[in-house]
Structure 1
């Protein structure tokens, strides 16, 4: 089962939610301050609390590298995969290089960290994406229209009458998806763009950041991004889940937030497709 198949399985079981494992040590509950493996122990508790509500987990690489905690990233992914083997893990490292270096980054994600998918920046074109896509059972999630405030500076520039993000989406759908393992990053803060991207990339899953802390509209995301009710989206929540509480009940609070997001998404579908 490749990454996209695994995600589709979770869509069928009623969840399009991804929990982003983005550790900020200064936001951990006080009990973790004395622990040498604090990041892993925190992640383990979050994974256990939220697993039944998610379609995947997404650790963000920089949060580990900056703390010299790459070993805890490996531990986190290994823990998730051994205890919840049906829940894929996305390594969010936004790699974007070419040739042999891109192949090395692919090996880093898939062979060293054993991730099921990786995020990739396509700025250098097909040479960036294809070395990752060669790993046929792994997911390659290509930045298309991101959720950050300055995303439009380049991504909305018009080329041959269409915005750059449409060119990326079309390439992803028609050229890079030979093995059925390509997805796109499409931010929840860009609902209008999301609808256009879905029209040229009807088959690709969308990883959707920007709900929660960044203020993306959940209803617009569900309406504009889904391929059919309950399908097509991997809606990420990080800070809102991880730091729902900084008390001893942090894991229960994370579970409550994750369940609420799953239920809110499903309620939008039920309302529009009774």
Structure 2
């Protein structure tokens, strides 16, 4: 049976790319909604729904996925703690792939970030993350940047909330503290997405950079995630599971 995939946010740039990628992957587009639309009907008529809208709809869409027993691929960034809690609650009933980024290369970068965080102690290596996106992006730091920070912190045996974030430095801030992870967000033009993770010590510096040149890589990854999730038991997954790294 052909997988029926619905798209929340179908009228945006990502929505148009997702339509093309659903067809390219041999799936069936079951429908889509824009800013307004019957989300309940979309979930009822789909096997999986891909949601690249915004944080404000994440809780409702996760709830509808659980209510209708359908897989959800969630790519919205900037979710609050309460919204993430709602997504986790829904994942007890249906498979949800919630990822900061659906590009395979970025998810390999997450894996490297965790390993490097474990190998490079914070007392000797300061971790800094620099990201740049198009001028229309509304949240900062980006979800991918925060994902990198979480990976580094996880490698160091802690959470990002525990190690702390330093961002928006301005004026006489004093010396850099030991332990927190630094974030810098740049916005301008139509940059699809650039992320650099730096580990800086007194005697060396290591930098890992990923650049996205085409948003299609996110659409291709999201459709791949939908195909994978439709056959999984209930649970909260991310792209490392889809790529076989989890």
TM over 0.5: no
Give the TM-score normalised by the residue count of structure 2. Answer: 0.31
Task: Calculate the TM-score normalised by the size of structure 1.
Answer: 0.29
- Greater helix percent: which structure? 1
Structure 1 or 2: more strand by fraction: 2
Bigger Cα Rg: 2
